[in-house]
């Protein structure tokens, strides 16, 4: 099973989601992340994202941002979008019906229906990163349980 996490810049939400989900699954699951935009290509995750993950015993400091490429549709089984804008961008890039089917809003995996998207914390403060961590940690628990059962 190969899972790709996608946000806008690939320096805040999706690298956190990648590290969190990886920490909940055995090593044979491939987890990666990418950004819709190329603003931060080759950069490490945002310092605040690294810090919050580290506080929770997850090391994402070695990750490097990359831009989503169309061939990712062939490489991954599930592609999780962090928000509605990422979702629409991915659906637009997916030319084949099988590729569109791989794209899901990550929050759609949570039984708690009040939050539909993971808010972008880039222009926020450390508390916003903490909230994003908790939100991703919750939903990734459901994703990991579901994947292992399937
Ligand atoms: P991310 O956050 O999509 O969660 O990685 C962002 C990081 C950078 C920018 C936007 C969102 N930016 O505009 O540079």
pLDDT in tens, 111-120: 987 889 999 9
Predicted confidence at residue 113, as pLDDT, reads 78
Q: Could you tell me the residue range of the domain that residue 31 belongs to?
A: 2-149
Average pLDDT, the chain: 97
Task: Single out the residue of 30, 20, 50 nearest to residue 135, CA to CA.
Answer: 20
* DSSP 8-state secondary structure symbol assigned to residue 39: T
What is d(CA 98, CA 27) in angstroms, rounded to the nearest whole number? Answer: 26
Shortest-distance atom of ligand 1 to CA 11: 5
43 — pLDDT class (breaks 50, 70, 90): very high
Q: Has 120 been annotated as catalytic? A: yes
Positive or negative, the Cα torsion across 75, 120, 44, 18?
negative
Q: Which of 12, 13, 46, 48 is catalytic?
A: 13
Task: Reply yes or no on whether the pLDDT at 133 is more than 90.
Answer: yes
* CATH value at residue 127: 3.40.50.2300
pTM, two decimal places = 0.98
Residue nearest to atom 7 of ligand 1 (CA): 9
Distance 54 CA to ligand 1 centre (A): 20
State how far Cα 56 lies from the chain centre.
Answer: 17
Are 19 and 57 in contact by the 8 Å Cβ rule? The answer is no
State the total domains in the chain. Answer: 1
Q: Has 13 been annotated as catalytic? A: yes
pLDDT in tens, 46-105: 999 999 999 999 999 999 999 999 999 999 999 999 999 999 999 999 999 999 999 999
Percent of the chain having pLDDT more than 70?
Answer: 100
Distance 128 CA to ligand 1 centre (A): 13
Predicted confidence at residue 114, as pLDDT, reads 83
12 — pLDDT class (breaks 50, 70, 90): very high
Predicted confidence at residue 15, as pLDDT, reads 98
Task: Reply yes or no on whether the pLDDT at 150 is more than 80.
Answer: no
Q: What is the CB < 6 Å shell around ligand 1?
A: 7-13, 39, 120, 122
Burial of 118 (0-12, 13-18, 19+ CB in 10 A): buried
Predicted confidence at residue 68, as pLDDT, reads 98
Are 106 and 17 in contact by the 8 Å Cβ rule? The answer is yes
Q: Has 66 been annotated as catalytic? A: no
Q: What does the pLDDT average to over 24-42? A: 97
């Amino acid at each position: 099973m190969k899972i790709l996490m996608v946000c806008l810049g690939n320096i805040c939400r999706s690298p956190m989601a990648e590290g969190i989900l990886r920490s909940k699954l055995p090593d044979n699951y491939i987890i990666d992340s990418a950004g819709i935009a190329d603003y931060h290509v080759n950069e490490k995750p945002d310092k605040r994202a690294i810090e919050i993950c580290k506080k929770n015993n997850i090391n994402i400091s070695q990750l490097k941002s990359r831009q989503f490429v169309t061939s990712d549709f062939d490489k991954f089984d599930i592609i999780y979008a962090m928000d509605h804008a990422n979702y629409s961008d991915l659906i637009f890039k997916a030319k084949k019906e099988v590729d569109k089917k791989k794209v899901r809003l990550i929050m759609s995996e949570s039984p708690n229906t009040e939050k539909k998207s993971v808010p972008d914390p880039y222009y926020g403060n450390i508390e916003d990163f903490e909230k994003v961590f908790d939100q991703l940690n919750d939903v990734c628990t459901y994703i990991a349980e579901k994947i292992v059962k399937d």
